[in-house]
Chains A and B, each alone.
Chain A
Amino acid sequence: MITRRGLLAGAATAALMQQRAGAAPIAPVAIQRCRTYGAGLEPTMRRLFDGIGGLGRLVNNKTVAIKVNLTGRPSQRLGHAPAELAHWTHPRVIGMAMHLMNEAGAKRIRILESPWSTTDPLEEYMMEAGWDPSLILNAAKKVEFENTNYLGNAKQYTRFKVPNGGHMFPAYDLNHSYADCDVFVSIAKAKEHATAGITLSMKNCFGITPCTIYGDGAGEKEPGLVPVGGRGQVIHSGARKPSLSAPQELHPDSPRDGGYRVPRVVADLNAARPIDLAIIEGVESMAGGEGPWIRGTRRCSPGFIIAGTNAVCTDAVATAVLGFDPMAMRGAPPFEHCDNTLALAEQLGVGSRDLTKIEVAGAQIADVRYEIRKA
């Protein structure tokens, strides 16, 4: 339970953090109307990236790591809908982004995700969902996949310190892939989220935490060898600690409430491992939650793609497109039961959520607004 005393203390901490972080950076965000994953996707995504100054300046001669959004188990669907038409980023969006990055001179592209409770290679995980990973493999000239839910191909985890202190943890131990890249891209599905209110490019990065350290079955002292279960006990509820080898909570007396904890961890992660390019796909999606395991969820067709080089700005625009106010605080939609991740990331100096300051290219928010709560 969040008390009045806790709220006041939180506000004071936030003000201090904001002061330390200075003015939150701002970058333009591009929006494109996109109704299908068919032939129109290529010109749409070209226009999208042109709207933020092109991909060349970002990826030319660089190693690009792309965190995709493949949440939940691959054997689970919303009704009969393939995962990509509901809760996963669509492989054609991933493939097209890679194709255009390749064209813009990307040296190497690595596809990253922490698949549910397994050390299986990502390709196998995709096949279990019914995907053909060769479509992604052949989208650019040098493509690699890595399962980041455990140690993976490295000898040790990489420690990412949260600038300006951090809300929940001072630093996070992650798979090497999030360090061994020049450009970090988050390709997310635009959805509501049962715990965090909304899930966009920043919340997608919740999944960069390896469950060998932050999972329900993580090792007590040292990371486990294989990821077991989700992050419910360590991150959502705080019922247990991450492996002791990793940095521990800053405030162990803080609320054991997912609506408090998850947005803070997401903000921390985005400060520690900033997103260089945020792509939010809402061509086809789902309403009412982030996956088929949430009751009352249903398919919807928002019909847009959004991109930007600042994740907070990009998520703020996407939040508005989905019919919410990115400046809303706890208690107001979509943050009825949680804190606003955008505000928490802003406090850490990741970016601004103030729509009056963010330049929008391509379509405007009003042109593509899709009130997901009404879907």
Chain B
Amino acid sequence: MPQFHPLPLRWTGTLPAGDLAPLNCLYGGGAGMPALTGAQIPKGAQWPSVRVNKRGGAEAGPTGAPWLNANGWLIRRARHLEPGKPVVIDAQPPAGARPGSYVLAAVEAMTYGAAWAVTHTPETWPGVRGAIQFFTAHAEWREWAPVAALTVVSDFTGDDEFLGDEFLNLLTRRQVGLRLAAPGNVAALQGAGAAVWASKKPVPYAQYMGWIRSGGTLIVQGEANSRTEGKGRVIGRAEEWDDVYAAVTGTHLAMTRRTDVLRLWNAGSFNSFYQAAPDGRRGVAHLVNYAGNRSSDDTSIWLSKPWKKATLTTLDKQTPLKPMATNGGIELSLPPVGVYAAIELEA
């Protein structure tokens, strides 16, 4: 767990005027604050947004849901691979980026426990600062565990990089609660219901058999691998693992939506990240809106755990929500959500 959480400003030369707290380091060679050190800066970070086609419309996938340029999966991979090293997202605004998208860049990174190397402009800084202060006040969330229905087993590097990354990206888009584990780390599956083998390495079945026989479900490529083992099973999917979209769809079917921990309605431009405190008494479901503005539709959310109390917390206010018991969990009707909302939960 990182002791120091960097909040970097991307700057060269003399610092911009005004109060820069809580920023605490510089990225880019400026003077006047300590330089950013000791952080990992994953390659390939994107400016968070809904992907737009040449005609200016949202690009959509096969199901009609818009494609998102999102970094949540990248942050989660980085934190998994080097848990002791804080993560900084290096993404610069494109020309003409709206002020709200700067706030989106800040909240997206901090939702997943990282920080954005802030691009400072006088117009956008107040909003970005508010977002950083909000997450600084909720620093404990960084260490809460994800509420997961599935563990993605992969090296996430080398031969597994593409497969592992795409599994993370696409499963996140389907709002599947997930956690990450390295091949062979069977202990990481403790308490997990299902795991998917998103690795090019052969499955060491013998190593995983104890977990499977005690009730675990291991999802692998190749129909011929399907079998029951003790209280658990191996589900072999027919989809080619090289077609990761098909593989992820097949994985979600193998888990079945019955194991979903979170569902969203009227939230096509949202990704979610659902976490719980170690004692299970509190939780938070983050909603990040990549459209970067106030949602036009009334969003609803369902959580599989029957939380007693829920509060919608945005960057500037709190609204109590009325949990409605349904399908073993609760459903919450949300007011229009802007760039970001946290649903704070109490058991």
Q: Which residues of A contact B (CB under 8 A)?
A: 73, 75-77, 79-80, 116-118, 120-121, 124, 127-128, 130, 132, 226, 228-229, 292
Contacts and interface: CB of A to CB of B under 8 A. Distances in A.
Interface of A, secondary structure class, is loop
B327 A132 contact: yes
A73 B63 contact: yes
15 contacts: A75-B265, A75-B267, A76-B266, A77-B297, A79-B297, A80-B298, A116-B63, A117-B62, A117-B64, A118-B63, A127-B258, A127-B260, A130-B265, A130-B327, A130-B331
Contacts of B62: 117, 226, 228
B235 to A, nearest CB: 14
B331 to A, nearest CB: 7
B300 A80 contact: yes
B157 interface: no
Given A80-B300, A117-B62, A117-B63, A75 B266 contact: yes
Contacts of A79: 297-298
Given A118-B63, A124-B253, A130-B302, A80 B260 contact: no
A214 B74 CA distance: 39
Interface in B255-274: 256-258, 260, 263-268
State the 8 A-B residue pairs at the shortest beta-carbon distance, nearest first: A127-B257, A80-B333, A79-B298, A77-B265, A80-B298, A80-B300, A124-B257, A117-B63
A77 B298 contact: yes
A229 B266 contact: no
B302 A124 contact: no
Given A73-B64, A77-B265, A116-B63, 20 more contacts: A73-B63, A75-B263, A77-B300, A79-B298, A80-B298, A80-B333, A120-B249, A120-B253, A121-B253, A124-B253, A124-B257, A127-B258, A128-B257, A128-B263, A130-B265, A130-B326, A130-B331, A132-B327, A228-B62, A292-B297
Interface of B: 62-65, 249, 253, 256-258, 260, 263-268, 297-298, 300, 302, 326-327, 331, 333
Contacts of B300: 77, 80
Nearest to B60: A229
A338 to B, nearest CB: 25
A130 B64 contact: no
B263 A130 contact: yes
A308 to B, nearest CB: 34
Contacts of B256: 124, 127
Contacts of A73: 63-64
Interface centre among A75, A121, A128, A229 (most CB of B within 10 A): A75
